[in-house]
Amino acid sequence: MRQSKLFTKTIKDAPKDEVSLNAQLLIRGGFIEKLAAGIYSYLPLGLRTLRKVQSVVRDEMDAIDGQEILMPALTPKENWEKTDRWDNFDALYKLQGVNKKDYALGATHEEIVTPLAKKFISSYKDLPMALYQIQDKFRNEVRAKSGLMRGREFSMKDLYSFHVDEADLDSYYEKAKKAYYNVFQRCGLKAYIVEASGGAFTDFSHEYQVFTEYGEDEVYFCKECDRHQNKELVEKGEIKCPYCGAEREVKKAIEVGNIFKLMTRFSNPFNVKYVDKNGKEQDVIMGTYGIGPSRVMGAVVEVHHDDSGIVWPEEIAPYKVHLLALGNDDKVKQESDNLYEKLVSAGVEVLYDDRDDSAGIKFSDSDLLGLPYRVVISKKTLAENQVELKKRNEEKSEMVNLDKIIDTLK
Amino acid sequence: MRQSKLFTKTIKDAPKDEVSLNAQLLIRGGFIEKLAAGIYSYLPLGLRTLRKVQSVVRDEMDAIDGQEILMPALTPKENWEKTDRWDNFDALYKLQGVNKKDYALGATHEEIVTPLAKKFISSYKDLPMALYQIQDKFRNEVRAKSGLMRGREFSMKDLYSFHVDEADLDSYYEKAKKAYYNVFQRCGLKAYIVEASGGAFTDFSHEYQVFTEYGEDEVYFCKECDRHQNKELVEKGEIKCPYCGAEREVKKAIEVGNIFKLMTRFSNPFNVKYVDKNGKEQDVIMGTYGIGPSRVMGAVVEVHHDDSGIVWPEEIAPYKVHLLALGNDDKVKQESDNLYEKLVSAGVEVLYDDRDDSAGIKFSDSDLLGLPYRVVISKKTLAENQVELKKRNEEKSEMVNLDKIIDTLK
């Protein structure tokens, strides 16, 4: 992409009404734009990163036999009444359409996926089954001040699994844990698995928490036994680990995913049963697994930035390379155009700063946008038939021959 | 994809409450599932087709310099008040969140994209600019009985263009017409451009209409001069063409897209101006361009089907090839598995019916699902080291050598 064609521009000053660092940097870089509290538009660079996070998630869900579907956001009241959540689910947006028909905006989709799955489950041969979608969710949050980390509308991947018994759910739950680990690692996040409340049906659910001083959650972190707990589980002052007795550290954290054994919480109200090998009807056992791709994007910015801007991990950067042409020299323009075309042909994702701006503006924009590799062409580098190559997350730069740079970046 | 792993199954009888042919066939094939009137879930096969339609649209929008963004569905009342549409836009879903904040669910996005674009427009150098998104829209339709063709929640591509003057808008409008023609052609639809009401600002808008007896619209079709008109423009009984005087035919049609010169209808209320070459402030001129990918999908089914099922055009079929293994013979299973793996490796999209079902079920499911190429392997074909190849839209089949079939299908 030629930057001269990109409609967004960087903004010098952070917007005053945004207190969170992720929103400040993402808005200044032109990745997102704020429409209202907790509600953002994704602009071209931000949409590319969001899609890459979603694509990592999709990969890993496909790898554990998830089948992708897409459920509506407009969901009928009846479904929520069946599970007693119409009045009891916090933060449900409700609205009424023609014929006084009531809907909730999908805040989660157990109420929709369970009766959907029921239509295709009759025998044990139909199980296990795992369905997921990637879609915007809506939550009527009282406070929405953390940028992409707590939105009123936000991107969500929700996976639901259906099993013949608890043992099969347990084995799938472990697979999902590994898939989640892969997702966060590929997105450049070190996420810890943390015990959280399990509701009435199971001991614990599990959250994936990323430690950062800007986090909204508090985690009791045990260095000895690797079993960490969300604050909500911890009795006042219970600083020692209940498993190994070690002292624990209280850390601020961002929740980027959660997994939950639902057991029969939703299959019962919708009467989802299967016929087992002996011809006997049995309850279907369920699990639910969530990751917020937009929240992951926000968390990545909270974790990966410096004073000059964002430092995108390579797999989710909007482009891999930022090519900067410095000065108005004709030869620089020509060689930069050339290199740009060659990189595109070689399949390298490159943002090409071909604007008529000063070197100062180009360098500071480049740091703010945070693409992994910066390639600078100037009269000076061309005198040696070279370009300057610098990684965003390293201080040092190196000179690379023009005819070697494409292979280096491929 | 192995069909034995696919969680959906075909359904023998059309659902009783679905009157439209597209919904009947798509539900019977397991492409979509109805959640409520006008509200559908996309199941794996249906989601693949929807994504392919969206991808064709994306291609063609990128080709006319559209920059993809993603705006929220939850849109503040203030934006709609500015343009006087909070009370005057038909079928707007409205809801209230915390702090008595009112929102509309996005039914169209002029009210959101215009102030967004304003932030990045100051000079004539910033224009023209074209922004688009592909996203679910919401409309509180009184009647929602046409399956994917008139939904309460549906997929929409909306493009908005911004120009220095009417001449520039006109030239972009012609480019968009060609792009739209390409989209419909690639999706297998013959769409006619039809004049419709232009509102207060321009003579006409233009609709893309596909003729089918199941259509909800009526078009006055002129065979002589190629200028057709929507019924809404035609005075009662005015059967003759106002341009050439020829007799016109009244045809049922489905609207699959529309384009509209907005002029300053939205830039004025949001005060979107630019500074021209002479330093003078001028109004920005706008156009808007819509295509409904889910509606296109419904229209394709209305147009391309026979008594046995759907006949997908190749570019938007969920898979290109349906591989059917017939009988329980070990060699058939082994050769089919082999061929399936080879096709996948060769990059051919294939649905592999490896289920333990009868030839009758497999053939009738295959016709219903409507993939472009059917490949049958049986004991009989293998005796000659062959497979049977049949196109879904042709009666005849041919025998092809096992070692030639991959090259034939690539």
Compute the average pLDDT of residues B34-49: 97
Contact across the interface for B7 and A131, Cβ inside 8 Å: yes
Probe site for chain A from B92, B95, B155 (most A CB atoms < 10 A): B95
* Cα–Cα distance for residue pair A392/A372, rounded to 1 Å: 5
Distance from CA of A3 to the nearest CA of B (A): 12
Tokens (6 digits) for B269? 């209320």
List of chain B residues whose C-beta atoms are within 8 Å of the C-beta of residue A112: 35, 41
Q: What is the pLDDT of residue B98?
A: 94
Q: What is the pLDDT of residue A90?
A: 86
Checking if the pLDDT of B199 tops 80, the result is no
Checking if the pLDDT of A408 tops 80, the result is yes
Judged by a CB distance cut-off of 8 A, whether residue A69 touches chain B is: yes
Tell me the domain boundaries of chain B.
21-306, 319-409
Asked if A375 and A352 touch (Cβ cutoff 8 Å), the reply is: no
Give the DSSP H or E segment for B207.
strand B204-211
Per-residue model confidence as pLDDT tens digits over B103-124? 999 999 999 999 999 999 999 9
pTM of the predicted structure, to 2 decimals: 0.97
Residue A162 backbone dihedrals phi, psi, to 5 degrees: -130, 130
Instruction: Tell me which of A303-317, A370-384, B127-141, B214-228 is least confident.
Output: B214-228
**What ipTM does this complex have?**
0.97
Q: What is the pLDDT of residue A377?
A: 98
Which residue of chain B has the CA closest to A104? B95
Nearest CB to A116 within list B6, B41, B142 = B41
Architecture of domain B21-306 in CATH? 2-Layer Sandwich (3.30)
User: Which residue's structure tokens are 């006084």?
Assistant: A100
* Cα–Cα distance for residue pair B107/B93, rounded to 1 Å: 8
Which residue of chain A has the CA closest to B33? A116
* Cα–Cα distance for residue pair B270/B115, rounded to 1 Å: 6
Nearest-CA neighbor of B168 among B276, B244, B290, B241? B276
Judged by a CB distance cut-off of 8 A, whether residue B75 touches chain A is: yes
Compute the average pLDDT of residues A221-244: 91
Nearest CB to B41 within list A35, A41, A71 = A71
Q: What is the pLDDT of residue B300?
A: 98
Tokens (6 digits) for B222? 């002129």
Helical axes B166-186 vs B44-63, angle rounded to 10°: 150
Share above pLDDT 70 across residues of chain A, in percent, rounded to a whole number: 100
Q: What is the pLDDT of residue A143?
A: 87
Judged by a CB distance cut-off of 8 A, whether residue B33 touches chain A is: yes
| Three-state DSSP state, B208 | strand
Share above pLDDT 70 across residues of chain B, in percent, rounded to a whole number: 100
Residue B371 backbone dihedrals phi, psi, to 5 degrees: -65, 150
In chain B, positions 81-110, which contact chain A (CB-CB < 8 Å)? 93-95, 97-98, 101, 105
Checking if the pLDDT of B261 tops 90, the result is yes
Q: Beta strand pairing status for A228-230 and A191-197? A: parallel
Q: What is the pLDDT of residue B325?
A: 98
Asked if A336 and A402 touch (Cβ cutoff 8 Å), the reply is: no
Per-residue model confidence as pLDDT tens digits over B300-349? 999 999 999 999 999 999 999 999 999 989 999 999 999 999 999 999 99
Asked if A195 and A228 touch (Cβ cutoff 8 Å), the reply is: yes
Q: Which pLDDT band, with edges at 50, 70 and 90, does B145 fall under?
A: confident
Q: What is the pLDDT of residue B293?
A: 98
Contact across the interface for A35 and B105, Cβ inside 8 Å: no
Q: What is the pLDDT of residue A191?
A: 96
Burial (CB count within 10 angstroms: exposed 0-12, middle 13-18, buried 19+), residue B227? middle
Residues whose CB falls within 8 Å of the CB of residue A403, separated by 6 or more in sequence, listed in order? A385
Report in angstroms the alpha-carbon separations of A303 from A193, A300, A312, B178: 17, 5, 10, 46
Tokens (6 digits) for A241? 């680990």
Distance from CA of B382 to the nearest CA of A (A): 30
* Cα–Cα distance for residue pair A340/B399, rounded to 1 Å: 49
Which residue of chain A has the CA closest to B140? A97
* Cα–Cα distance for residue pair A186/A63, rounded to 1 Å: 14
Distance from CA of A154 to the nearest CA of B (A): 9
Compute the average pLDDT of residues B141-145: 88
* Cα–Cα distance for residue pair B272/B263, rounded to 1 Å: 12
Compute the average pLDDT of residues B222-244: 91
Contact across the interface for A75 and B35, Cβ inside 8 Å: yes
Compute the average pLDDT of residues A65-88: 98
Residue A43 backbone dihedrals phi, psi, to 5 degrees: -95, 175
Nearest-CA neighbor of A156 among A118, A110, A196, A195? A110
Share above pLDDT 90 across residues of chain B, in percent, rounded to a whole number: 91
Compute the average pLDDT of residues B347-374: 97
Supply the mean pLDDT for chain B.
96
* 3-state helix/strand/coil string of chain A: CECCCCCCCCCCCCCCCCCCHHHHHHHHCCCEEEEECCEEEECHHHHHHHHHHHHHHHHHHHHCCCEECECCCEEEHHHHHHCCCCCCCCCCCEEECHHHCEEEECCCCHHHHHHHHHCCCCEHHHCCEEEEEEEEEECCCCCCCCHHHCCCEEEEEEEEEEECCHHHHHHHHHHHHHHHHHHHHHCCCCEEEEEEECCCCCCEEEEEEEECCCCCEEEEEECCCCCEEEHHHCCCCCCECCCCCCEEEEEEEEEEEEEEEEECCCCCCCCCEEECCCCCEEECEEEEEEECHHHHHHHHHHHCEECCEECCCHHHCCCCEEEEECCCCHHHHHHHHHHHHHHHHCCCCEEEECCCCCHHHHHHHHHHHCCCEEEEECHHHHHCCEEEEEECCCCCEEEEECCCHHHHHC
List of chain A residues whose C-beta atoms are within 8 Å of the C-beta of residue B8: 120
Distance from CA of B95 to the nearest CA of A (A): 5
Asked if A189 and A300 touch (Cβ cutoff 8 Å), the reply is: yes
* Cα–Cα distance for residue pair B283/B277, rounded to 1 Å: 14
Report in angstroms the alpha-carbon separations of A383 from A335, A396, A399: 12, 21, 12
Contact across the interface for B73 and A120, Cβ inside 8 Å: no
Contact across the interface for B136 and A35, Cβ inside 8 Å: no
Per-residue model confidence as pLDDT tens digits over A184-226? 999 999 999 999 998 777 789 999 999 998 888 999 999 999 8
Is the N-terminal amide bond of A242 cis, ω within 30° of 0? no
Q: How many CA atoms lie less than 13 Å away from A14 in the CB half-sphere? A: 16
Tokens (6 digits) for B346? 């060769």
Q: What is the pLDDT of residue A198?
A: 86
In chain B, positions 124-183, which contact chain A (CB-CB < 8 Å)? 126, 129, 131, 136, 138, 140-142, 152-153
Compute the average pLDDT of residues A264-291: 98
Q: How many CB atoms lie within 10 A of CB A329?
A: 15
Compute the average pLDDT of residues A302-318: 97
Q: Which fold has domain B319-409?
A: Rossmann fold (3.40.50)
Checking if the pLDDT of A9 tops 80, the result is yes
Compute the average pLDDT of residues A161-183: 98
Tokens (6 digits) for A10? 């960087």
Nearest CB to A67 within list B35, B44, B153 = B44
Integer Rg of chain A from CA: 25
Q: Which pLDDT band, with edges at 50, 70 and 90, does A14 fall under?
A: confident
Which residue of chain B has the CA closest to A97? B140
Q: What is the pLDDT of residue A96?
A: 97
DSSP B39-62: EEEEPHHHHHHHHHHHHHHHHHHH
Nearest CB to A136 within list B9, B73, B116 = B73
Render the burial of A193-225: b for 16+ CB within 10 Å, e for the rest: bbbbeeeeebebbbbbbbbbebbebbbbbbeee
Question: For domain A21-73+107-138+147-306, which CATH number applies: 3.40.50.2000, 3.30.930.10, 3.40.50.720, 3.30.1330.10?
Answer: 3.30.930.10
